[in-house]
Amino acid sequence: MGTTWRVRYAGRVAPLTVAAAITARLAALVDQMSHWEPGSALSRFNDAPAGSWHELPADLARVVDLALTLAPRSGGAFDPAIGALVDLWGFGPAGARAAPGPREIADALALGGWRRLTWDAPRRRLRQPGGVRLDLSGIAKGYAVDAVADLLDELGVRHCLVEIGGELVGRGWRPDGDPWWVDIEAPSGADVPPLRVAAHQLAVATSGTYVRGAHNLDPRTGRPPIHGVVSASVVAPSAAMADALATMAVVAAPAKVMALDYPVRLIVGTVDVYQELLSHRLVEMLKQDYC
């Protein structure tokens, strides 16, 4: 996934045993969902001929099912089928390239999009209509966080904090009886108050432009978003949901994001002026924490 993972846990299972199990689990997920690995299940689907049906492995099927549920609900601001656009803008495995022109963007939009996919959920089958390239980078990392936490539970570890590339989920409690505290990062230079969340049976994900630069695309226009959101952090019951919503929040208009029924923090701004926006659910959560 091009990033690191970290786990803190309270339990009697040996760290080497835990690390070996996590490494194997993550390798299996990469083998299913990576669009950087030519032999992954996702890459095989992307390269498949038009009209072909593909039975997806279990993890990939769960991610596709959630992604295709969120795509229409987001009004298309979250779309798992924009791999052609991602490659066109130089954000994919092929690497950097010159910004595309209007005709190239229009062609990529016509080839991709979740509406072109046919999903047979009961049989875990996805139809390749021809030319659609999946890119699950806006949700797969969060799913991997949940998967590692579930794996730890299977190993008998009930209390843990799992982090992959900045996406986190907390289960149970710390040994001192506190919840797993998570400090939500803000862009350097943003004069906003610190924000700490108790990740007790909750996940936190952040997406933005302040670390890797502008790499998000609006699936509806085929271009980088224009709303000025430099950071979007979402708290949700699962890391997969938090990851997908944070990805969507960077793209959608801030007013739409603030209407979500989730705790969300947006930081909107330019080079030297930032504004913090908190959703009503996050404000409610903060009031409860302070009582």
CATH assignment of the domain containing 199: 3.10.520.10
Collect contacts of 258-264 with beta carbons under 8 A, ≥24 apart. 260/234, 262/234, 262/235, 262/236, 263/197, 263/234, 263/235, 264/232, 264/233, 264/234, 264/235
Distance of alpha carbon 56 from alpha carbon 53, whole angstroms: 9
Question: Which of the listed ranges 41-50, 178-187, 282-291 does the model predict with the highest average pLDDT?
Answer: 41-50
Mean pLDDT across the stretch 121-134? 97
Q: What pLDDT was estimated at residue 214? A: 60
Higher pLDDT, 188 or 53: 53
Going by pLDDT thresholds of 50, 70 and 90, the confidence category of residue 261 is: very high
Q: Is residue 26 part of a domain?
A: no
pLDDT higher than 70, residue 157: yes
Residue 100 covered by a domain: no
User: Does residue 121 lie in a domain region?
Assistant: no
In terms of average pLDDT, the best of 114-118, 255-259, 281-285 is: 114-118
Is 258 inside any structural domain?
yes
Under 8 Å between Cβ of 140 and 67: no
**Within a domain: 263:** yes
Secondary structure (DSSP) of 169-225: EEES--TTS---EEEEP--TT-----EEEE-SSEEEEEEESTTT-S---BTTTTB--
The average pLDDT across 33-37 equals: 92
Low-confidence winner among 27-36, 206-215, 229-238 (lowest mean pLDDT): 206-215
- The pLDDT-based confidence of 287 (bands split at 50, 70, 90) is confident
Task: Say if 278 falls within a structural domain.
Answer: yes
- What is the predicted pLDDT for the residue at 271? 63
CA 7 to chain centre: 18
Tokens of 239: 């890391």
Domain that holds residue 272: 158-290
Whether 55 maps to a domain, the answer reads: no
CA 79 → CA 26, 65, 111, 288, distances in Å?
A: 23, 12, 13, 34
pLDDT at 181: 95
pLDDT tens readout for residues 68-79: 999 999 999 999
Name the pTM for this structure: 0.93
Q: What is the pLDDT of residue 250?
A: 92
Q: Residue 73, Cβ neighbours under 10 Å: how many?
A: 10
Domains held by the chain: number: 1
In a domain, 4, yes or no: no
Q: Answer for the pair 27, 186: CB distance below 8 angstroms, yes or no.
A: no
* Comparison of pLDDT for 280 and 286, the residue scoring more: 280
Mean pLDDT score of the chain, rounded to an integer? 92
pLDDT band, residue 274 (cuts 50/70/90): confident
**Six token digits for residue 28:** 């299996």
pLDDT at 291: 37
